[in-house]
Amino acid sequence: MKFNTKLIHGGISEDKTTGAVSIPVYRSSTFHQHELGAQPKWEYARTGNPTRQALEELIADLENGTRGFAFASGSAAIHAVFSLFSSGDHIIIGNDVYGGTFRLVNKVLKRFGLEFSVVDTRDLQTVEAAIQPNTKAIYFETPTNPLLKITDIAAVAKIAKAHDLKTIVDNTFATPYNQNPLTLGVDIVVHSATKYLGGHSDVVAGLAVTNDEKIAEDLAFLQNSIGSVLGPDDSWLLMRGIKTLGARMRIHHENAKLVYDYLENNDKVAKIYYPGNPESVGYDIAKKQMRGFGAMISFELNEGLDAKKFVESLQLIDLAESLGGIESLIEVPAVMTHAAIPREIRLQNGITDELIRLSVGLEDEEDLLGDLKQAFDKI
C-alpha cells in the first residue's frame, strides 16, 4: 500500500465484530473473562483497548515500524521512551529540542540519575566526540523548533549503530507524510500527535513507534507500568485526524511555499528559516531525507521592528502556542514557547526577540497573505 492509502486502510481498517468502517470507541475499562486464567486478548484497558490498538497499528504502519504505542501526550510518550534507560546511563540530545523535552530532562530525569550531553546533532564530529562508555542513546529532532535545523538522520544512526547506541527521533514537525526515520536506521520514533497528526487543534496525544522486537516488548511493559495511556475517545479522534493527513499536508505545503515566497520578497523581513529554502544550510539533507518541507516557517523582522505589534495586528492568524492545525498559528518564541530559556542562551542559539514562528494552515491564499500584508503595513 502507498502512503495515502495506508492513512485510510492501514492498521485495523474495519471492526472485526460489526464491520463498522470507523473503528468504534470501546469505552470499557475491563473485559469479561470467559475462562479463569486463560490470558484473554483483552483484560484491562490500561494494558490494551481495541480503539487504542487500532490507532497503534495505524501509526506503526505509517512509520514503517512493527509496533506503535499511544500515550496521553507527546511528553508522556517521550517520558516512556526515556524510561527504557536506567540510572547512570548517558544520553546525547540535540541542542534545539522541544522546550518541554529539555524541562523533562533537566528537572525530572536527571533526578533519577540519567545523564545527558546536549550537542548540535548537525555536527557529526561533535556527536561522535560526545559518546562516553556509558552512552546508550542519541535523541534529536529534525527539523527543529523554531529554527528548522536539519540533521542527517541516516548519518547519526550510522554513528549510533557503530557504537551500539539506540537512535530516537522526534518526528513531530515532519510527520510520517514527509519523513520516516525508522527507514533511515533509527530505532524509535516519537510524536506529539497533538500537532499535525491530530491536525485540528482538538486533542492532546503522543505516539511512539519501533521496529525492534525487544524495544517493543520493553515499551509495552513501560506503557502499562507507567500508565500514561491515551483513552479510547482521544484515540478515535486522533485516528479520524490522521485519515486526512495526506490531504491536509498537500495544502499545508502549497500554502507554506506561498508564504515563504511572500516573506522572501518582503523588505521588512531580515531572515527566514524554512527547510525548503534552497540557500539554507540543511537544504540538501532535507531534500535527501524528506518528501516535503513541511509548513513551519520562522522569520525575523528587521531589527527595531515591533514583533509584538505585528502579531497582535493579525486578524485571521491566531496568536497561540502549538502548531500543525488546520488554522494558521503564530507565536513569538522568546516570549511564548521558549521563554523558559535564559535570554543569553536563547540568543546564543539564534532565537532573537524579533523571531516569529508561523504554522501555516489551510486558509485560502488571499486571506492568508492579505492578513500578513495588513499586519506588515502596521509596523
Ligand X SMILES: *Cc1c(COP(=O)(O)O)cnc(C)c1O
The residue ranges that bind ligand X (CB under 6 A) are 73-75, 98, 100-101, 141, 145, 170, 172-173, 192, 194-195, 204, 206
Which residue of this chain has its Cβ atom nearest to ligand X in the complex?
A: 74
Q: Min. distance of Cβ 31 from ligand X in angstroms?
A: 28
Q: Min. distance of Cβ 33 from ligand X in angstroms?
A: 34
Cell numbers 486478548 correspond to 41
Active site includes 283? no
CA distance 277 to 359: 16
- Nearer to ligand X by Cβ, of 206 and 275: the residue is 206
Render the burial of 202-237: b for 16+ CB within 10 Å, e for the rest: ebbbbbbbbbbeebbebbeebbeeeebbbbbebbbb
Which is catalytic among the residues 15, 46, 202, 240? 46
Active site includes 170? yes
Q: Min. distance of Cβ 98 from ligand X in angstroms?
A: 4
Which is catalytic among the residues 6, 52, 98, 248? 98
- Nearer to ligand X by Cβ, of 211 and 337: the residue is 337
Which is catalytic among the residues 6, 52, 195, 346? 195
Q: Min. distance of Cβ 172 from ligand X in angstroms?
A: 4
- Nearer to ligand X by Cβ, of 98 and 274: the residue is 98
- Nearer to ligand X by Cβ, of 50 and 176: the residue is 176
Q: Min. distance of Cβ 201 from ligand X in angstroms?
A: 12
Give the residues across from 271 on adjacent strands: 300
Active site includes 46? yes
Q: Min. distance of Cβ 77 from ligand X in angstroms?
A: 8
To 10 degrees, the CA torsion angle through 359, 365, 371, 373? Answer: 110
Active site includes 274? no
Q: How far is CA 304 from the centre of its chain?
A: 33
Which is catalytic among the residues 61, 96, 170, 371? 170
- Nearer to ligand X by Cβ, of 145 and 179: the residue is 145
- Nearer to ligand X by Cβ, of 206 and 241: the residue is 206
Residues designated as active site? 46, 98, 170, 195
